[in-house]
Chain A
Amino acid sequence: MFDFSILFPSLLNGLTTGAVYALIALGLTLIYGVLHIINFAHGAALMVALYAVYLLKERFGIDPYLALPLVVPGMFVLGYALQRLVINRASHGKDENILLVTLGLSIILENAALLAFKSDTRTIDTAYTLTTIAIGPAMIALPKLVAFAGALVVSGLLLWIVGKTDLGRAIRAVAKEKHGAKLMGIDVDHVYAMSFGIGLACLGAAACFLLPAYYVNPQVGSGFVLVAFTVVVLGGMGSFGGALLGGLLIGVVESLGGLYLGESLGQIGIFVIFIAVLLFRPQGLFGAKA
């Protein structure tokens, strides 16, 4: 049994990591919930956003947090365009095609990054990279705390968009009944592209919060996307509250798993949960029964 002075920081650390997982999973679950696309390019898109943040900092000296108003809309436009111009056209309306198109996109994006940036791992140095804040016996890195708060704010914003705005109503209508929504005069292609755009915009925010404490290389997305899929399954496909709670839970499980089982076995807990959820509650914690 570990002392409280180790357990508590580990728990907090799990929560802060989990918040970033949640943010990445929110984008994924939105895209799945509406478009029923399993977006294999999600990790690659995160990598693109991380490079954007990196370049803004290195070339123009823009702080990652101040880059939010640039990277988030940028990723939104990228997502909107990808869905409208590439995924929608190349898939000819078939789900299995979409799967392959997003997989292909991820390969193209990763290799383009390899070509442009080489596989060199890059980090940025900010004034607060090494700043820590004491919470009881725990020392939490400032970037992780900011990421935690930021993830909660973005999640709240997303819930509000989907729950309260006209766009949100249209998204939910399309998710439930595509043809019905079309008959009611909703521009389905536009809603699809908006959802994809918002999904990628979440990644833009995640990238801004992540980079001060992390690194970027062309392979960086793959590690996150596997966890994000687990979060989505745990929370319930298409459920936003589920993704948020699922992300936090997975973060804590990973952190405590690492503490008790050793760091190289720490992720075992994540995948045990993944299998258990699929076996006993396939709809996830907050998912509606199919």
Chain B
Amino acid sequence: MSTRRHFMSQSAVAASALAFPLVGGAQPRTIKVGVLHPVTGALAYSGQQCREGALMAIEDINKAGGIKSMGGAKFEALLGDAQSQPQAGAAEVEKMNEAGVSAVVGAYASAICLATTQTAAKYNLPHIVDVGVADQIMERGLKNTFRFGPGYRKCAEVAIANLHVLNTAAGKPARTVMIVHEESLFGTGTANLLARELPGYGYEVKEVIKHANPTRDFNNIVLRMKAVNPDIVIPANYYNEYALLVRTMQQQKVRPKAIYSVLGGAASSYKFVKEFPEAANGIIDCNHWFNPKDKRSAELKKRTEAKGLFFSYEVFMTYTSMRLLADAIERAKSADRAAIIDALEKSTFADHMMPYGATKFVNGQNTGAQPLMTQVVKNDIKVIIPREYRETDPVFPLRA
């Protein structure tokens, strides 16, 4: 009985394998793409937002007829969970490789991206980094790794230069700075860059405070802030801690001349603005942001909100990264990994909603990528710098 069943199943497999070439020509192929994010664990919120962005992009790509140069081949997402841990992310890449994906888009957090890009490199598997701002990700000479958005060095440079412009225009009311950052790769790296560069512009960095994820209580940090009394507070951390920090500052009545975030997880988040309108008001952030003048950004925002989600940077960063991949495969005319890497290297992808212009990769980094400066004004997030994307004039300092 069991041998008979075995035989039958075997012949079924053989039959379908034989039959496949006949229908294979008629039907468009599918291209497997790994969508890898930390959808559980400490970074789950951001990871799930990223995943939504990726899936919306795939929906759009397929709806528009798939990859035309490959007979309308459709994208098929292979979802992976990095569980907010680098090693779990690397293990997912192994699985995706086994499953035969053509490329991986992910994996949000810098520390996770470090691991996943390296694992993908073993198999020459193209990996588009959607957020991961740590510059170490791009500096290891991995041929398979491409980052569409800016790294933290670029963000810190832009933030400092603009702070100086704002401060000078206001008659230099701000001189002292305190940096509060989370302790992983992204926060520490950003804080180190800021602490090193700011004195060159004439700012005194009074204190740099590191905290864990999660931190349950920010009273101590805010007490020290009270004692130091800095003109500007610069937070660089993830959403939960950012929200608690700003709320505690409000409770303790600590009001610096400006809260000036660099890649602060919350200041350019509609969720934060909605939940803490009072605390959010006036906060400036240097972060990933879409081109507000591009109609597609407003459409995507509407679609995201219709799903009951906030239109956070995770959504549009991963959305655009997926579109970048589709563009590369379209030009490669192949789902072959080496061909996709080659097409990415030559990418001039310009049909997107980010303020980056035409894509140009140098050693995997998109050289046109830049953050925008936003400020929370009247319960909305508005671009203040640079001028070509400006929606409203900056308010600086917030308090004399």
Contact status of A10 and B240, CB under 8 A, knowing A118-B48, A120-B45: no
Residue of B nearest to A123 (CB): B275
Most buried by A among B183, B220, B253: B220
CB distance from B295 to the nearest CB of A (A): 28
Across the interface, A263 reaches (CB within 8 A) one of B48, B210, B250, B278, namely: B210
Tell me whether A3 and B227 are in contact in the complex, defined as CB-CB below 8 angstroms, given that A121-B45, A215-B244 are known contacts.
yes
- B251 touching A141, Cβ below 8 Å: yes
A262 contacts across to B, CB distance below 8 A: 209-210
Instruction: For A6, give its contact among B41, B217, B227 (CB under 8 Å).
Output: B227
Report if A263-B221 is in contact (Cβ < 8 Å); known contacts: A114-B40, A121-B239, A132-B252: yes
In the assembly, what is the distance between CA of A17 and CA of B244, in Å? 15
Cβ of A217: which chain B residues have Cβ within 8 Å of it? 44-45, 240
A10 and B223 form a contact (CB under 8 A): yes
| Residue contact B251 to A132, C-beta cutoff 8 Å | yes
Contact with A along B197-229 (1 / 0, CB 8 A): 000000000000111101111011101101100
With an 8 A cutoff between CB atoms, is A13 at the interface?
yes
A264 and B183 within 8 A (CB): yes
The one of A3, A17, A120, A264 that contacts B216, using a Cβ cutoff of 8 Å:
A17
Contacts of A214 in B (CB 8 A): 216
* Interface size, chain B (Cβ < 8 Å): 38
User: Is B209 in contact with A6, judged by CB distance below 8 angstroms?
Assistant: no
Q: Does A255 contact B (CB under 8 A)?
A: yes
Does the CB pair B210–A17 fall under 8 Å?
Answer: no
When chains A and B are docked, how far (Å) is the Cα of A207 from the Cα of B262?
33
B339 within 8 A of A: no
- A192-233: CB near B (< 8 Å → 1, else 0) gives 000000000000000000000011011100010000000000
A18 to chain B, nearest CB (A): 11
Q: Which residues of B contact A218 (CB under 8 A)?
A: 44
Expressed in whole angstroms, the Cα–Cα distance for A218 and B45 within the complex equals 10
Chain B nearest CB, measured from A59 CB (Å): 15
Tell me whether A269 is interfacial, beta carbon within 8 Å.
no
B337 at the A/B interface (Cβ < 8 Å)? no
Interface size class of A (residues with CB under 8 A): 35 or more
Say yes or no: is A258 at the interface (Cβ < 8 Å to chain B). Answer: yes
State A79–B115 Cα separation when bound (angstroms): 42
Is the beta-carbon distance between A219 and B220 smaller than 8 angstroms? no
Residues on the A chain within 8 Å of B247, using CB: 129-130
Residues A263 and B252 in contact in the complex (CB < 8 Å), given A6-B223, A9-B219, A215-B240: no
> For B209, what are the chain A residues with a Cβ–Cβ distance below 8 Å?
262-263
Of A141, A254, A259, which one neighbours B223 at CB under 8 angstroms?
A259
Q: Does A275 contact B (CB under 8 A)?
A: no
Q: Which of A116-151 contact B (CB under 8 A)?
A: 118-121, 123, 125, 129-130, 132, 139, 141
B252:A139 contact, CB within 8 angstroms: yes
Please report which residues of chain A, range 100-124, place their CB below 8 angstroms from some CB of chain B when the two chains form the complex. Answer: 114, 118-121, 123
Q: Which of B210, B212, B223 contacts A9 (CB 8 A)?
A: B223
Asked if B216 and A263 make an inter-chain contact with CB atoms under 8 angstroms apart, the answer reads: no
A158-169, CB under 8 A of B: which get 1 and which 0?
000000000000
Q: How far is the CB of A241 from chain B (nearest CB, A)?
A: 25
B166 at interface, CB cutoff 8 A: no
B275-290, CB under 8 A of A: which get 1 and which 0? 1101100000000000
Contact of A139 among B217, B221, B227, B253 (CB under 8 A): B253
Distance in angstroms between the alpha carbons of A132 and B219 in the assembled complex? 12
Complex interface bits, A251-278 against B, C-beta within 8 A gives 1, otherwise 0: 0001100110011101100000000000
Chain A residue at minimal CB-CB distance from B209: A263
A166 to B166 alpha-carbon distance, docked (Å): 71
Q: In the docked arrangement, what's the CA distance between A259 and B221, Å?
A: 8
Q: Say yes or no: B212 contacts A10, CB within 8 Å.
A: no
Assuming the contacts A121-B240, A132-B251, asked whether A10 and B44 have C-beta atoms less than 8 A apart, the reply is no
Whole-angstrom distance between the alpha carbons of A262 and B251 in the complex? 21
In residues 3-32 of chain A, which contact B (Cβ within 8 Å)?
3, 5-6, 9-10, 13, 17
Interfacial chain A residues near B275, Cβ < 8 Å:
123, 125
Inter-chain CA distance A254–B219, complex, in Å, is 12
**Does B120 make an interface contact (CB < 8 A)?**
no
Residues of A within 8 A of B112 (CB): none
B39 at the interface (CB under 8 A from A): yes
Which residues in B have their C-beta under 8 angstroms from that of A5? 227
Given A217-B45, A259-B220, A264-B215, list of 7 further CB < 8 A pairs?
A3-B227, A118-B48, A120-B45, A130-B279, A139-B253, A258-B221, A263-B210
- Can you identify 19 A-B contacts, CB atoms within 8 angstroms? A6-B223, A9-B219, A13-B219, A17-B217, A118-B48, A119-B48, A121-B240, A130-B247, A132-B251, A215-B240, A217-B45, A219-B44, A223-B214, A258-B221, A259-B223, A259-B224, A263-B215, A264-B211, A267-B212
Q: B residues near A, CB below 8 A?
A: 39-42, 44-45, 47-48, 183, 209-212, 214-217, 219-221, 223-224, 226-227, 239-240, 243-244, 247-248, 250-253, 275-276, 278-279
The 6 closest A-B pairs by CB, nearest first: A119-B44, A263-B211, A13-B219, A258-B220, A264-B212, A264-B183
